[in-house]
Amino acid sequence: MPHYKIILTDDHVLVRKGLKRIIQEDPELLVVDKAGDGLELLEILEKSTPDMVIIDINMPRLGGLQTSKFVKELYPEVKVLVITMNKSKELLSQVMKNGADGYLLKEDEYETFHLAIKAIRDGKTFISPLIFG
């Protein structure tokens, strides 16, 4: 089975490295690139199209809310998982209206991170269970 290709987008190097390590626990997943903000991600997407992008909501230059919208408009086949510390239902609503496939909190367990990727890979929408309870 071919690898499911993922690009990580977060302005914090340690977060990107941590997410990459978690992703590497699944041999079917492969981190193919990383970006420090939304503009960098869009530049990468001009050259390479992954299966999924994981986007932090708060980043300099171009934040995750706008980035997720641009990704879905320009590359509708690419799945988008937004990660954030923000439990706001209003932000969740905006992110989902922009076409994101998932919304995960940074305080979720790493097992939940794997569940989110799998659900989205299987064509489902995933929202952190911590949002509603």
Q: Give residue 118's pLDDT.
A: 96
Task: Tell me the residue range of the domain where 41 lies.
Answer: 4-127
* Spatial contact of 78 and 50, defined as CB atoms under 8 Å apart: yes
Instruction: Report if residue 106 sits inside a domain.
Output: yes
Tally of structural domains, the chain: 1
State percent of the chain over pLDDT 70: 98
- Here the CATH number for the domain that contains residue 76 is 3.40.50.2300
Asked if the structure places residue 132 within a domain, the reply is no
* Mean pLDDT to the nearest integer, 18-31: 94
Q: pLDDT value at position 99? A: 94
Q: Going by C-beta distance under 8 Å and a sequence separation of 6 or more, which residues neighbour residue 35? A: 7, 8, 9, 41, 43, 44
Measure Cα distances from 121 to 3, 86, 96 in Å. Answer: 11, 24, 16
Share of the chain above pLDDT 90, in %: 86
Contact predicate 35/70, CB 8 Å: no
Is residue 29 domain-resident? yes
Question: What is the rounded distance in angstroms from the CA atom of residue 45 to the CA atom of residue 130?
Answer: 31
Question: Has residue 118 been placed in a domain?
Answer: yes
Residue 133 resides in a domain: no
Q: What is the mean pLDDT of the chain?
A: 94
pLDDT one-digit tens code per residue, 90-109: 999 999 999 999 999 999 99
Residue 1's pLDDT is what?
64
